[in-house]
Every structure is written in C-alpha cells, then in structure tokens.
Structure 1
Amino acid sequence: MEEMSLPALFQQARQIHSAAAEDSSVEQSTLRKGIEALRRCDDMVSKLGLFSSNETKDDVSTANLKYLLVPFYVGELTEKLSQDDRLQVIKMSRDQLKEFISICEALELVPEEEIETPMQGGTDSAAARRAKKIARFKRQRAAEAKLQEIKERKERRGRSLRAAALSTPIEVGEEHELEDDGEEEREAWLNAISLAICKAFDLLEMLKKEEEMLLAVKEKSLQEGDDVLAREILDERSKRAETWHRNAASQAPFLKPVQPITCAAFAQDVIEGRANVSQAHEHKHQPLMFGPASLVGARLTSERERIAAQVFQPGYRLPTMSIEEAGLREMEMMNKWQERNAKLMEEANSSWHNDGPRPPATDSDDDDAAQDKARAWDDWKDDNPRGAGNKKLTPCG
C-alpha cells in the first residue's frame, strides 16, 4: 500500500467502499483496510495541495474531482465499524462528514438551502425541515438518474467500439458517442459529489439521533445505579490516584525535614494564646514552577535547569506571601497598636497630666500700665466722638 500511486490507492479504497455499500456483512478487517487506504489518500492529497480555499468547482480539474470524496468514504466506512465505544465511532464519523461538507461548501458545491446561516441558528420549524428533506430527496434522485444515464451511455459506447473493431455496422444514433471529450467524466463526478452531499447530510442527522439515544441510555444507567459501571469508574480512578502517588513519591527529592508545624496551625496557636508572635517560626513558601513537566518534577541540579523551568510564567502577578503570613503580620501590627494605645492611656491618667501646666506669675507694674493705657483710651474717645472727622460729608459741614 505504501508503494501504490494515488489513483491506484483511491481505486482500491473505492472498490472496498462499493462492496461495503452493497453488502452490510463485510468483514471488519476489510473495512479497516479501506479506511487506512483512504487516510493515505487524504495525506497524499494534502501533501500535493490539490485543493485550495480560494478556488471554486470550476477551478478544480476533472482528474482531481474524485478525490473530494475521500473524507466522505472515510466517514461512511467508519460508521460501519463495530467497536465497544460506539460514541467514539460516531464522533470520528461525524468529524469526517463535516470535513467533507466544509470542503464542498468552500468549493461552492453545497446548495444554498443546505447551508445554515447565522440568522437561522439551527431552529428550523417542522415545515422547513420537511421542505429541506423533500428538496434533498429530489436532488438525490436526480443525481442517481443522471449517473445511471451516464453509465448506460458508456456501455453503449463500449458496444459501439467493439462493433467497430469487428467491422460491424454501427447502429443509428451512436455515431456521436464514439469519442469522449472529458465533459461526460466531469459531469459524472459532479453528480457523484452531489449524491454524496445528500447522503452525508442524511447520515449526519441519523448519527446525531443515535448519539442522543446513547447518551440518554448512559445517563439512565448511571441514575439507576449500575454497579458494574460504577465499579469500573472507581477502579479507574483508584488506579489513576495510585499511579499519581507512585510517580510523586519517586520524584520527591530527599531534603532536610521541615518543622512539623504549619503556618495555619501557628496562627491558630497565636490566636488562642498558646504561642506568641515573637516566637521563631519561618514562613517560607517555595515559588510555583510553571516550566516543562520534565524539569519541574525532576531535581534541579544546576542553575541552567532552574532558569529553564522558570521560562513559562503566568501573565499575572503572583502573591508574595501566604494568607497565614498576611494574618500574622496584621496581628503583629494590631499588637503594636494596642501597646501604643495602652501607653498613651497610662500617660493620660498620670498625675502630671491631671495637674496640668501652671500659669506664669503676673507683675503688679504691668497691671498698672495696662490700666493707665485703658483710661487714656477712654478719655480720647470722649474728646473725639464717633464720626467727628467726617464734617465735610454732612450737608451743612
């Protein structure tokens, strides 16, 4: 299969797809072989770059049109696989069918009524869905009839060629069918793609309903308390936890044992009075490492490894202290504030504060001078009544 060319590989996979479409009892090994061949075809098509996003169906050559059917064939063959996890099979098949529809939509091969616009939002009414299905059925019938017509035309052409080789007179009406200019082949592949698009939409709807049924059954079994399923889930979780603890124990470095007391326990002891803030207790927290897992989980033996492990850091600021450290620091500030208030209250209640500052002694000479000055001021006011200097402002002044 690795040495086969793209046309030969596609022809082999197409034969397997045709056999699976005609007979539902095809062996699983044959289906897997066909899927593998189609995936190789898909890889080769991607490497060759046969299709582009800025092209339409008119830009694609006739020889490359058939390779558009590769994801559709993969989706149909995947849906026929028998596997324990049916939901996974449905998911893989739906992904391939959606990829096929998206490629055809980019090449303008999908009809407008099948394209869901953002305005619709997938909430079509029953009448709209029925009309869409009827139109899809008509397109499917038309494509099948056209393919049958092209097949019969090719058979007549073959008979005509054989008759010409045997020097037998050609039947009337078959002279123009002796040569094929390539338009017939292009028309055949375009109709085959149109038929595949109709089948893909029908298959997607069927897979969606099947997925909903399987999810409902699974949810019901979980609600009813399926012991076997619950036991399997618990066993899987226990295995995962056991593996994680085993790996963590093997990667844990042998360092100096730390103090058994934690920051939270120390803060609780301080609050309840069993310890003091001034007691020696180191509150050191190692910074979080966001580097590669191979370096973070291992022992950092060099400065280069430590820097490499700190390359990938978060885009936000990390805390510089823990909640316990912040609580202890606030408690220490509160203790200092209480001690200061107690000292101030003690000073306020002391005898020095109650006595207060004594007023300075007054001199009798200063009192006499002040009295003389007040008397002179009173005499001057008697000699100069209020408004005496404003004679010019009066009418008779």
Structure 2
Amino acid sequence: MENLHPNALLMKCIPLVSQDPGTAASYLQRLQPLLRNNTLYSENETLEDAPTNSILLLAVDYYLAMALINAPQDNKSRSSNESRYRKEILERSHAMLHAFLRRMELLGVFEVEIPNSADGSMLLKAYHHLLEMEDYSHSEEPEDHLRRKQHLMTAGEMRNAKIRNYKLKRSAEKAVEDLSKRISEIEDDDDDRLDDYTRRSSVLVLLQNIVQAMDQLAAGYKEIEMLSMAVMFERNREEIERHQGTSHPDKKDMCAVSSSSEKRQLSDVKINKPMEVTRVTQDPLSGKLIFNREHLQSQVFKPSWNQPTMSLEELAEIERTQAIERGEKQKQLEADEKLKARRYEFLVRDGLEDDVDLVDASAKVDQAWDDFKDENPRGSGNKMGERGDRNF
C-alpha cells in the first residue's frame, strides 16, 4: 500500500477505519501533508476548481480523526492516566474534524443540495451553532456561560436534530447508490458523463462525512466534559496520596531511579506503608487454624440466607407421603373409636346396636354408669349453697 496513488490509498483505508483503525491511522497520517502543503487546493479556490479524482482526499482529516477515535488504546502509547489519554485523543480528533468542516465551508460543500432532501440548508446553520457552543464552553466569562445555557438545545430539539441528520445521511447514501448504478451503465467512450457522475458521488460522500463529523463532535463534547471531571478527581486523589505517603511508584519508574537520594525516597515511601495485621484463630470443634482474611474472603459471595437443600419435586413427594400417612392414621383412629366400648345409647346413635360384642361391652359400661349415679345423686355436690350471707 505504500506505493499506491494517494487516491487509491485513501480508498483502501476507508473500510479500515472501522475494521482496523490503527492501521488506517498510520496510512492516513502519510496523506495529511498533501492538505497541509496546499498540494490539492488553495484557499482561494472553490470546489469546482478541485480535480475529480482528488475530491475524496479532502476528507483525509475526517477519516484520520474517526480512526483515532475508534483505535484501541495501546500500552506503549498509553499514559499513566487512561482518562487523560482518552481526553487527549478526543481533543486531537476534534481539532481534525473542525479543520475538515472549515475546509468544507470554504469550498462551499455545505451549500450543495442533497437530492430528495429539504433539510440541507439547515446543515450550515447547525454547524455555526456548534461553533458558538464550543466558544462559550471554552470561555471563562460569566456572560458566556449564561449564553451557553441559553443556547443549549432541549431534549426535543436534540431528538429533532438527530432525526434530521439521519435523514440527510440516508438521502445522501441513496443518491450515491443511484449514481453508482448509473456509472456502471455508462459506456467506455462517454468520459464526460463518467466524470460528472463520479464528481457528484464524491461530493455526496463529503456531505455524509459532514453529518457524521457533526454527530461525533456533539457526542464527543459530553465525553470530554466527563473525562475532564475524571482527570480532576484523579489528580486530587494523587495529590492526597502524595501528602499522606500512600502513593506507590510504578515498576518502570523504580527501574529508572538511579541516584541514591531518589532510592532513599522510594524506601521511605515503602516504610510509610501501614502495617497489615493478620488474625489467626482456632476452630473449637475441628481444631483447624482459621485466618480472618481467608474466612472473610470465603464469605464475600455467600448469601446471608439459607439455601434450599432439596428441589421442589422432592418437597412435593415428601408432603404427599406425609398426607397419605395422616389419612391412614385418621382412618385407623376412626375405626378404633367405633370398636371402643361405650354406652348403649351411643351405639344406637351410630347404628351399631346389632353388634353383639359391642352390646355386651356396653352392658358393663351402662352398669358402671348406673352405679356411679346411685352413689352420686344429682345435687349431692352442692353442700355449701345454704351457708353464709347471700349478700356477699
């Protein structure tokens, strides 16, 4: 890919922006000098003056910015603070996106009409609104902060802006597809139509890049604000740890220390590290040694409530067996109660007066009951009813 023409190299890098952003960024950085040295165009030229085969090269900054944003963080290039590194990448990418959008404004790409779209005129106005918001956010004047709050879009306006950008992008994509079909149908000797369709298709691709760049800037500002807060918190934490003597240098920094004074400082930092106490107890039942740290670690992911010891099917089978046993015991008790000796009137009530054995047994019960009534006549127990004062 190193010996390819710049336009061919760009076409190879465009799909790599999402598939292999690291490789795409390394190749796109070689194309940037073409724009920096005004090799493709000068500031006093318009889009009509640019050659057809060089129009897509005007978007090198856009593709490079998107590749840097999508590229994973490399351990070699990553700083000690991941939030700070990500913030630097976003700020660098946003600077490239602004350079791309300013170039598109100078060339008049914003003014190109998208087929079957009525929102193209709002694109330049939305970009200027984005620039105003950025200027207000970077300013430290109270009036600018007030203006920024006044210019902030509501949730409904943001939703409408996203819908508008999506429709613009879809209209541009559809127009590019139609032009690609027309290009495939052109005869070999019709160079004028081929150049016209290719030029219009390239300009529509630039419009797609404009919409995506503005979406990325709007989303990136919020991420940069959160990263700025994260960087500030991490700096405050490092400052507190440095004063408390609890911060530890990295292994690479320790290897780089050469002077004896720096080594003494590192040893002082290690000495200031608080002592860790390990408590050891003995289980009274098993006699095993229990380390408090290991015991606590074993209880970290253990729930505080008792876990089930059987499945629902096993529980249902146990309850079914117990219910059957209770039913059998109840039937046995009822059968024993019927065969129990009792007075004859109870046998008549239960319809068992024809059972000879029960009738014989009831005769003894009735005789015992009659003897008890003879020995204890009715009212014989009320001996103290007539004594004492009835008023008390």
Scaled by the length of structure 2, the TM-score of the pair is 0.47
